[in-house]
C-alpha cells in the first residue's frame, strides 16, 4: 500500500505545479519576494511605505454552485477569474488596491491539465486586478469528493491609505447613485439558476436569440473585475462616498450596507437596460421581480454614491477604464434602506 493507491497522486501534484508556473509568473509585482514553491508567500511593504496611515484590507470567497456548469461543459479556464473577482471587488469597494492573492483548490483527483486551466483563470483575474498570485494549494480529497469534481476558493489582501477609505459615513441626501454594468449573473444565485434551467450539456449548449449566445456561454461569463474602474475614479480626483458590490442578496441586501442611518437609496429600475439573461430567467422560472432584485445584480455589479458635482468626472473615469456607467438614482433622507421605483 502507498499514498497513490490510497488516492493521492503526489507526482500529479508536481506536474500541476510545473504547468501553472508560467501563469503565476505573469502576475508578479516588484514587491513579491522569492518564487513559487516556498512554504509562504512573501510581499514587501514597499508597496505602501509612502502612505500616511496604510490600512490592510482582505477578502475571501469562492464561486458557489456556478462551478457545476464548468463541470457539465468541461470548461475550467474562467472559473478562476470569478474566484478572484469575488475577493478583489470587495477590497476595491473599500477604496483599496489589491496587492496579492492566494487560491485553494480541492479536488477528488488531481488532473494536472485541469488544475492548470483553473489556475490560468486565477492568474488572468489577478492580472486584471493588478494583484500578484503569490501562493496557493491544490488538495486531493479521495473518498470525499467525486474524482471529476473540484471546488476553488481564494483570499485577497489589499491596502488603502486611511484618508481614502470608503466608509459611506459621509453620504448625504442629494448624492447621486452611479451603477457600473455587470457582465451577467456573476457568481451568485446559481442554486436558483440551476432550478430554472435544466442542467444538462445539451441545455447549456442551446442557443438563444435574445442572449446572442448559448445559455452556457452566458451563464459562465466571468464576473467583472472593477479594480481598474475604481482606480480610474480615484485618479480623476473624485471622492467616492460609498460603494456597494452587488453580490448575493442583490440590491436589497447590498446597497444598504454602504449607507449611514437616515439615508434611503432610491434606484430607478428604468435607468438602464436589464440584461436579457435576467429577463429570461424571471420569465422561465416565474420568479417575482422583488426576488430577482433580492438575489441577483440585475445588470449592475457596483453601485457608487458620489457628490452631484462629481457625476460627470465619475462617468468619464469609468468609461476610460473600459466599463459602462449609468446614473441609476439618488440618496434621500429617510429610513436606511433601498427603494426601487
Residues 185 and 324 grouped into a single domain = yes
If you average pLDDT over residues 140-150, what whole number do you get? 93
Q: Which domain covers residue 213, as residue numbers?
A: 176-340
> 187 and 280 share a domain?
yes
3-state secondary structure 87-149: HHHHHHHCCCEEEEEEEEEEECCCCHHHHHHHHHHHHHHHHHHCCEEEEEEEEECECCECCCC
Rounded percentage of the chain residues whose pLDDT exceeds 70? 96
153 and 212 both lie in a single domain: no
Instruction: Check whether residue 192 and residue 334 sit in a common domain.
Output: yes
Phi, psi of 5 (to 5 degrees): -70, -25
Q: Is 1 a domain residue?
A: no
User: What is the distance between the alpha carbons of residues 310 and 316, in angstroms, rounded to a whole number?
Assistant: 10
Query: What's the pLDDT score for residue 23?
Result: 84
Of 164, 187, 204, the one marking the end of a domain is 164
5 falls in which pLDDT band (50, 70, 90)?
low
Categorize the per-residue pLDDT at 17 as very low, low, confident or very high, splitting at 50, 70 and 90.
confident
- Structure confidence at residue 39 (pLDDT): 81
Q: How far is 216 from 267, CA to CA, in rounded Å?
A: 30
The dihedrals phi and psi of 295, each to the nearest 5 degrees, come to -125, -40
Pick 37 or 185 by higher pLDDT. Answer: 185
The pLDDT of 298-321, averaged and rounded, is 98
Alpha carbon of 53 to those of 74, 100, 160, 236: distances in Å?
Answer: 46, 19, 8, 22
pLDDT at 146: 93
pLDDT for 222 equals 97
Q: H or E segment at 293? A: helix 289-293
Q: Is the confidence at residue 2, as pLDDT, over 60?
A: no
Taking the whole predicted model, whether its pTM rises above 0.85 is answered as yes
* pLDDT band, residue 7 (cuts 50/70/90): low
The whole-number pLDDT of residue 169 equals 96
| Sign for the pseudo-dihedral over CA of 208, 210, 213, 217 | negative
CATH number reported for the structural domain that contains residue 246 in this entry: 3.90.650.10
C-alpha cell at 18: 510545473
Nearest-angstrom CA–CA distance, 332 and 338: 10
Give yes or no: residues 129 and 193 share one domain. Answer: no
User: Would you say residue 107 lies in a domain?
Assistant: yes
Quote the pLDDT of residue 309: 98
Please compute the mean of the pLDDT values over residues 7-18 and round it to a whole number: 68
Do 183 and 231 belong to one domain? yes
Number of domains in the chain: 2
Residue 15 has pLDDT above 80, yes or no: no
Q: Give the H/E segment covering residue 290.
A: helix 289-293
- pLDDT of 56: 96
Q: What pLDDT is attached to residue 18?
A: 79
Does the residue 218 lie in any domain?
Answer: yes
pLDDT tens track for 232-274: 999 999 999 999 999 999 999 999 999 999 999 999 999 999 9
Query: Which residue would you say has higher pLDDT here, 31 or 173?
Result: 173
The domain that holds 91 is classified in CATH as 3.30.1330.10
Over residues 74-92, the pLDDT tens digits come to 999 999 999 999 999 999 9
Amino acid at each position: 500500500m502507498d499514498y497513490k493507491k490510497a488516492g493521492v497522486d503526489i507526482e500529479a501534484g508536481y506536474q500541476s505545479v510545473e504547468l501553472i508556473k508560467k501563469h503565476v509568473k505573469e502576475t508578479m509585482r516588484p514587491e513579491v519576494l522569492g518564487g513559487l514553491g516556498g512554504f509562504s508567500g512573501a510581499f514587501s511593504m514597499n508597496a505602501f511605505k509612502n502612505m500616511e496611515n496604510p490600512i490592510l484590507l482582505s477578502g475571501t470567497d469562492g464561486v458557489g454552485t456556478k462551478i457545476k456548469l464548468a463541470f457539465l461543459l468541461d470548461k475550467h479556464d474562467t472559473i478562476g477569474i470569478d474566484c478572484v473577482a469575488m475577493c478583489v471587488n470587495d477590497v476595491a469597494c473599500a477604496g483599496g488596491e489589491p496587492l496579492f492573492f492566494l487560491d485553494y483548490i480541492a479536488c477528488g483527483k488531481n488532473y494536472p491539465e485541469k488544475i492548470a486551466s483553473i489556475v490560468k483563470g486565477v492568474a488572468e483575474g489577478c492580472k486584471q486586478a493588478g494583484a500578484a498570485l503569490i501562493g496557493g494549494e491544490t488538495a486531493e480529497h479521495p473518498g470525499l469528493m467525486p474524482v471529476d469534481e473540484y471546488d476553488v476558493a481564494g483570499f485577497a489582501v489589499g491596502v488603502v491609505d486611511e484618508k481614502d477609505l470608503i466608509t459611506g459615513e459621509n453620504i448625504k441626501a442629494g448624492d447621486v447613485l452611479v451603477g457600473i454594468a455587470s457582465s451577467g449573473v456573476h457568481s451568485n444565485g446559481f442554486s436558483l439558476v440551476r432550478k430554472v434551467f435544466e442542467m444538462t450539456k445539451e441545455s447549456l449548449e442551446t442557443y438563444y436569440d435574445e442572449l446572442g449566445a448559448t445559455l452556457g456561454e452566458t451563464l459562465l461569463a466571468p464576473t467583472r473585475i472593477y479594480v481598474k474602474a475604481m482606480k480610474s475614479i480615484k485618479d480623476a480626483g473624485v471622492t467616492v462616498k460609498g460603494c456597494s458590490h452587488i453580490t448575493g442578496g442583490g440590491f436589497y441586501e447590498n446597497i444598504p450596507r454602504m449607507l449611514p442611518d437616515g439615508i434611503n437609496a432610491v434606484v430607478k429600475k428604468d435607468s438602464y437596460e436589464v440584461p436579457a439573461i435576467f429577463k429570461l430567467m424571471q420569465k422561465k422560472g416565474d420568479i417575482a421581480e422583488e426576488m430577482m432584485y433580492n438575489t441577483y445584480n440585475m445588470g449592475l455589479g457596483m453601485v457608487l454614491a458620489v457628490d452631484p458635482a462629481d457625476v460627470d468626472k465619475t462617468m468619464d473615469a469609468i468609461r476610460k477604464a473600459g466599463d459602462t456607467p449609468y446614473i441609476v438614482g439618488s440618496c434621500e433622507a429617510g429610513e436606511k434602506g433601498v427603494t426601487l421605483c
